[in-house]
Amino acid sequence: MAKILFVQNVPFEFMGPMYLSALLKKHGHECRLVIVSEEADYLGRVAAFDPDLIAFSTMTGPHKWVLETAATIKRSLNRPVILGGPHPTFFPEVIYEPSVDMICVGEGEFAALELADNLDRGRDISAIQNLWIKRDGKIFKNGLRPLTEDLDVLPFPDRSLYDGCRILRSVPAMKFLTGRGCPHRCAFCFNHSYNELYRGLGRAVRKRNIDHLIAEIRETARAYHLELVRFPDDSFTGHRAWLLEFLGRYKDEIGLPFTGLARANELDEDVVAALKASGCLNVFFGVETGNEDLRNRVLKKNLTNGQLTEAARLLRRYGVRFGTYNMFGLPGETLAMAFETIRLNHRLGPDYTINNMFQPYPRTEIVDYAVEQGFLDARSEYLETMNEGSLMTLADIGRITNLCRFAQTAVRHPRWLPIIKMLIKLPPNRAFKLIYDATSAPAMKSNLNLSWLNVVRWGLRLRKIT
């Protein structure tokens, strides 16, 4: 039996570690989790478990914390460290960091199982597909195994991994993946690069068998105090026939309120009516920007204002609450364009808006464009969080940053626009960030079904972390 310890810093349930833990436990291995921000002595917890392998799942930006924490742990307990998730997948050179012994590129379940089995049996680990292994100054760079096309071969995610986190277990909402992959090619996202990475190695977009998914939700609802189901898939509404069949069965067999992510052009009348009938509490979809040229030429979203408007009309008609995702400080964006985002959202009439500063993730298509056009220095460092500020070189970036802070207020209370237009002339400051945090809380509460007390607790915890 190999002992694997997952380490993270935020009190969120991440699907990756839960899927890995489920498969590893099924085959006799032991898995535990430490949330560093929740532990007075996390190094003591690590040492007490005495793991054979320490695992981090990380995106770009938070990887800085991961590398620092991995180094701290290795000074205390010299055990091999593996990184998985988007950052090592697209930046495999992170293997050269002193605190990293191995990385997983792409999907990790069966690579992790082979690794755990080999560690347990004392076998060589240098040739495991999807893994890069550092040993004696040499890097073994292994190729990818095919994608797991039949997602039903994977056991249900191991939600017990997070049972020790009181704040999470006080939230009566849990996430369920209905599939994997996204067919779209938005320039700001890694999905199209991921699809290229796996070209010839299986279908990138996969949906689960409805029976299997229903069984998981039912089993989880029995084990936990579940009041809200969340579907965070990139393309929950993307497979129309699957979706309509699933929603009909969900209504009869589960019946709990749920939330999901949608794409505006996939929300036709039949889909919206089915969402309402099956108990959809709210959906969120991306607007990104109110400027069509910026959205489609630069972001490659392939979505018109008319399609956004029609989706909003249908959702309002059927009484489904909805929220929008918006970005500010995009390459080439002017202050006038940023105000187009405010005006379009006001016309759409969302119940919530989630507004973030654009984060230029390297090796995405939009970053290449931003560098070529002189909007971004190619040597720029990553920001830790999306609302830490902006790395973009834009004439009005200070005012655009401030407008992002006031966007929720501006959309819901347009009569305040004259005051907001005056305030955003001031330098970005902590007071405006506090206003942003306060006005963003309703969207967070709705999406997670949190009590207001937990919204405050979670917000304070995340402020401390980031």
pLDDT-above-70 percentage for the chain: 93
* pLDDT for the residue numbered 224: 94
The confidence score (pLDDT) of residue 248 equals: 96
Give the model's pLDDT for residue 447.
53
Say if residue 281 is in the same domain as residue 360.
yes
pLDDT over 90 (residue 340)? yes
Same domain, 328 and 250: yes
Q: Using 50, 70 and 90 to split pLDDT, how confident is the model at 442?
A: low
In a domain, 164, yes or no: no
What percentage of the chain reaches a pLDDT higher than 90? 82
Q: Is the pLDDT of residue 461 over 50?
A: no
Enter the tokens of residue 108: 């990790």
E strands present in 193-234:
206-207, 228-231
pLDDT of residue 450: 45
Give the mean pLDDT of 269-293: 97
141, 157, 181 - which closes a domain: 141
434 lies in the same domain as 329? yes
The answer on 440 and 302 residing in a single domain is yes
The whole-number average pLDDT for the span 176-183 is 94
The mean pLDDT value for 433-441 works out to 83
- For residue 466, pLDDT beyond 80: no
**In terms of domains, do 247 and 378 share one?**
yes
**Pick from 68, 144, 71: nearest CA to 106:** 144
**Domain-ending residue, one of 123, 141, 159:** 141
CA–CA gap between residue 72 and residue 78 (Å, rounded): 10
Query: Does 282 share its domain with 241?
Result: yes
Residue 271's CATH number:
3.80.30.20
State yes or no: pLDDT of 460 exceeds 90.
no
Lowest mean pLDDT among 117-121, 176-180, 372-376, 446-450: 446-450
Query: What is the predicted pLDDT for the residue at 286?
Result: 96
- Confidence check: pLDDT of 328 > 90: yes
Instruction: Evaluate whether residue 133 is within a structural domain.
Output: yes
Residue 44 sits in a domain of what CATH number?
3.40.50.280
* Structural domain contains residue 304: yes
Tell me the C-alpha distance between 263 and 464, whole Å.
33
Last residue within a domain, chosen from 120, 141, 162: 141
Residues 183 and 283 in one domain: yes
Q: Sorting pLDDT into bands at 50, 70 and 90, what band is 363? A: confident
Number of domains observed in the structure of the chain? 2
The predicted model gives 413-433 an average pLDDT of 94
126 with 228, same domain: the answer is no
* 117 and 179 within one domain: no
Residue 380 has pLDDT above 90, yes or no: no
DSSP state of 41: T
Between these two residues, 40 and 388, which has the higher pLDDT value? 40
Mean pLDDT, the chain, integer: 92
Task: Say what the pLDDT of residue 192 is.
Answer: 84
Pair (395, 353) in one structural domain: yes
Q: Which domain holds residue 19?
A: 3-141
pLDDT tier at 388 (50, 70, 90 boundaries)?
A: low
pLDDT digits (tens, 9 = 90+) for 13-56: 999 999 999 999 999 999 999 999 999 999 999 999 999 999 99
Say whether both 113 and 176 belong to one domain: no
d(CA 396, CA 461): 32
**Secondary element (H or E) of residue 465:** helix 452-465
- Residue 441: its pLDDT value, please? 67
pLDDT of residue 464: 46
Residue 441 CB-half CA count within 13 A: 18
Q: Is residue 189 part of a domain?
A: yes
CA angle 184/189/195 to nearest 5° reads 55
User: What is the signed CA dihedral for 228, 232, 238, 244, rounded to 10 degrees?
Assistant: -20
Is 157 a domain residue? Answer: no
Whether residue 186 is contained in a domain is answered as yes
Higher pLDDT, 311 or 234: 311
Does 18 share its domain with 75? Answer: yes
- For 307, the 3-state DSSP assignment is helix
Check residue 361 and give its pLDDT. 84
Q: Is residue 150 one of the residues assigned to a domain?
A: no
Is residue 237 situated within a structural domain?
yes
pLDDT for residue 155 is more than 90: yes
| Model confidence band, residue 444 (pLDDT cutoffs 50, 70, 90) | low
Q: Is 386 or 184 the better-scoring residue by pLDDT?
A: 184
Mean pLDDT along residues 226-241 = 93
Distances (CA, A) of 28 to 23, 42, 112, 117, 405: 9, 25, 13, 9, 49
Confidence (pLDDT) at 304: 97
- Return d(Cα 51, Cα 144) in angstroms, integer: 26
Average confidence (pLDDT) over 414-424: 95
pLDDT of residue 378: 81
